[in-house]
Structure 1
Amino acid sequence: MKTVIRFVRHHWLTLGLLLGSLYLVMWIVETQRTPGAMTIIEAQAMDMTAMKAPPGVHPVAAEHPVTMSVSAESSFPAEVLAFSDESVAVRIPGRIKRTLVYPGDRVVPGQLLAEIEADEFAAMSGESTWMARAGSSMALAMQREVESMRASLARSRAGLSASGAAVERARAGARSAQTRHSQARRELEAAEQAILDARASLKYSEAEVGRARRLHEAGAISLDERQMAEREFESSVAKTRAAQAEREARFEAARSMEAEVEAAQAAVKEASETQHIAKAEVDEAAARLKKTEQEARAKEAEREALKSTAASASTLSQYRYLRALSHGVVSERAASPGAVVMPGEPVFQIRAIDTVRVQSELPQTLASQVSAGTRVLITTGSTTREATVTSVFPVVSADSRTFRVEALVPNKDHSLLPGMYATLSLLGGPEDALSVRNSAIQYDAEGNAFVWVMGEAESSGEATDWTCTMHPEVSEPGPGICPKCKMDLVPRKGTGDHVAEARKVRLGAQGKTHTAIASGLAETDQVIWAGIPGLFPGAPVRAMEWGENGPKELPAAAGVPEGHDHSASEASKVSVDDVPEGVYYCPMHPEVQSADPGPCPKCKMDLVQKGGE
């Protein structure tokens, strides 16, 4: 704050003069400016794009549609393209060793075009081939080892099966021996019982013999009875001895059966141990087979990898040879022998031109008239040949509102070369219909066809209001001067007897000079065929006699005040060259001349002196 006060104290006189000058300028602008005049800021902000002359009467050429026979002979620019293009590019880095074809040479599929010097790829291919063969041998050896392991496993399983059968037989023998041992034990027990019974009978017989002897000695019984008792005793002794002998035999048989049972049980144990050993051998053989199979699969995978590597190396090695893929003609050779090339770099361009494609862009209005089979005429210089449309592309360009057609043209003599400019003409039979000149056909932004026709004007031609050509925002009910620039006001709208109307039509055949109208026009319509630029719906128009360079005369401007009709005869007769030296004149109206300076009575511009600085 102190700095500001100090500055004001030291420069109060300068600040006072600036403020006084500013106040004086503002007073002059506010009090002395001409009424309606623009300030500098207003002039800078003025929209110059809004300035345009008021509409006048458009001179046009118009005529009624005529019924005539129109032959569809529309012609359109076309381009000749190869039937197919082939770019032969390098796939491996190297140096071109030799080339076998030259532009213009015909080639066939598989034909050798060039050879690239890349020995490292050939060496890689040989090495990969030998490695693949070694891998195959190792894989085959492992496969044989797998077969050997499988045979060993089969033998082990057979031994396991045999040992299992032996175990079952031993167990069956043990069960049989056990059964016989049990039977022997039962028979031994029966023999011991028989001994007991024989001993009891012997004891009884012995007692009976003693009693019989005592009774015989006592004379109580006869000798026969005594002898009978003795015989029974002897019989009991014999039975006892026989029972003892039987018991001994049964005992020995039981002991024999017991040994047989023990032997059978030992055989079962031995067979079971053999079975366990066979099972262990089977498990071991299965494990060895599994391991061998895994190794065989690994070797097989390695063999496939080596085989794939060898195939890739062989393929890369074959890339040293550039070959054609299709029939065609060499159109370009981009590298010569000795040149070093890198992958992707094209060396040859091959184009099939025995048949060529001729393509052209047609307006969308012809989409319903052109289809596959439509006859066309292809013209290139002095060469003309007839063909048919073979393809109609199903897309309309949003920018040009055109669609593409294509004709395949036989070209055995190679007179049509890719890139040639050609003309494609649509051929068709004569068609009798209402027709208009081709220049009358117009297209809107959507590509729809229309023509301008002359319609009756609704107004009488009187001006609706008066405005300034420099300041269109000024509107007055009658003539006067612009409050801003002091120029004379002009009528905002002037009209003739007719106005332009846009009429949509459906086109028929299009000839060299006329186009058939399928619908949309009547014979009484007046169709505008010249003077079309600048027309808009409702634009005042007047039919004039038309020459080669335009209308032979212009219509008088309607609603323009006197002095603003620059098409008047006196304005066209007087030029700046006709003004004498030293005389003041108006640059816009040279016919206005004066000996003294002053404003132009027509446009209020200052007069200038002829020959003055």
Structure 2
Amino acid sequence: MRRILNLSVLSSLGLLVGLYLVVFHWLVPRHRRPGQMTVTEALAMDMAAMKPPEGVLPVATEVVEPRPFEEAVTYTGTVAPLNEEVVIARVTGRLTWMPFYAGDRIRKGQLVAKLDAGGGEYAAREAEAQFEALAAQHERHMAEAEEEQAQAQRQGSESALQAAQAMLLQAQAMVREKEAMLEEAQRMVEQGRAEVEEAERMVAFAQAQVREAKNRWAALQSEAERARHELAAKERALAKAHSELAMARQSLEEARAEGEQAQQEVAMAEQEKAGAQADLNYWQAEIGRARTLYSKGAISKDEFQREEAQFANAEARAQAAQAKVQQAQAKVRATQARQRQAEAAIAAAQEEVALRQSEVKQMEALVRQREAEVEAAKEQVAQMEAMSQAAQARLERSQAALQAAQAGERRAASALQGAQASVRQAESEVERAKAMIQEATANTHRAQRHVLHAEAVRAQAQASLTATRIVRGYTEIRSLTDGYVVERLIAPGTLLTPGTPILRIAQLDKVRVQAFVSEKDLAGIQLGAPVVIQSAKDGKQWTAKVTSIFPSADPTARTGLVEAIVDNVGVQLLPGQSVIVRISKRRIPDALTVPNEAITQFNGQPAVWVAVPMGKEMGPTQY
């Protein structure tokens, strides 16, 4: 037993136990992934009764790569016809023929119904209108013959008028010639008067300009004199500012000298204060020593009192020295304040000097400007006086020309009176011819009114005939559009009145698919967005695009109407049919897509788990 349990065996067992503890209690837990089981735990676990430990779940993976992605919404829609026509009756009558039923194809202009409009009533009205039109045509022919006779009478009167007018034209030509002469003379008179008036205005204007120029000259001279006075005042103000600046500089020098003296007094007072303080310190030590000796009886009371008197004197001298230092310092502060005040006064005086110098320069420039203006005004006065003399000479020439033009006007007026007498004689002949023409014209007008009346009667009869034929045509009812019969509203044999609906025809080669979309999805839908329509019955699909988004929403359902026009080949979509509408909101050509069940939440944000190879670390990635 001692041989087996010797020291080497015990050492080996201890080493094995230590190695086990290190491996299974420190190394394995440190490098094991969260939730990973040991081999022993995995073998001992009953998978039928136990749940996987935390951190270990069986998962499925999927390769994620860019692929096309479409965001779309799906709603239930309704089919409606592209256009719809309700065939109505326009006249009263009984429906005798209408062989069409729901689903029948109708072409534009095709006869769809016939009415019996009360036997021969419309035919009788047509015959009566034709008779009235023929009577009106006969009356018009008679009125035209009467008009031709009146026009022949008028032509004879117009020939006589032309001869009289020829004589009148000759006399009027002579009058116009004399009037032209008179007008020319009058024009010359008016021109002369206008020239006289213009010359008078020029004289008045020139005289006014002379007065104005002289007044301006005087005013500018006065302004120049005022400017000179102001310049003298500004120069006096500048001299005063220079004097104040010199006084301020002198005050600054005096304040600086006093400051230096005060600084010396402060230094002397400080020295005196230091001596007094040293003396006081000495006597403070002496009085302490004397008080100790006196208490011990080493000195007399008189000697102690003398020591106290010396201490009091030293203390008084120290206080006086301190007061003297404070007084000297106050004097220094006062001189410094005077220096600052003097410096401020110098700065203000310098600013005042600069201001006054600027004002003097400005006034000198103003004086030069005023003197130049005075010279210019003087030259203008001379120019205006010369212009006044020229205007006066022009006035005299215009008055002479006016007198000559007035003499010519009198001669032209005398010649015009003789020509006017010839015109009056020719006018009397014209008036007689015009009276004959007026009578013929009146006869012509009566005949023309007769023709117009006959034409109006004929037009009225023709309109009545046309209206009768149109109303008679309303008994045959035709379609105004291509389409299919979707509803038969009346049966043959029914008595109809104007406006009674007969058939409802819808255009179905193209239909409108309408869907009510929620407000949340409505904001992302654009015109032209792709649409897929699927039949709820057989699953057949049609493609289209959004053609209309209605600009109003249902306040109760919170929806808006979206519409797409679809080619309905073979009429497979019927009005009122329910369909499934899938509307595309946007398309991404290379989006990363994952299944919905793979999306989880991480820190309040959507996230997915990414499978990585063992031993590879991967941080958070955003897409």
State whether TM-score is above 0.5.
no
Richer in strand (by share): 1
TM-score (structure 2 length as normaliser):
0.39
Richer in helix (by share): 2
TM-score (structure 1 length as normaliser):
0.40
Q: Which has the higher contact order (CA 8 A, sep 6+)?
A: 2
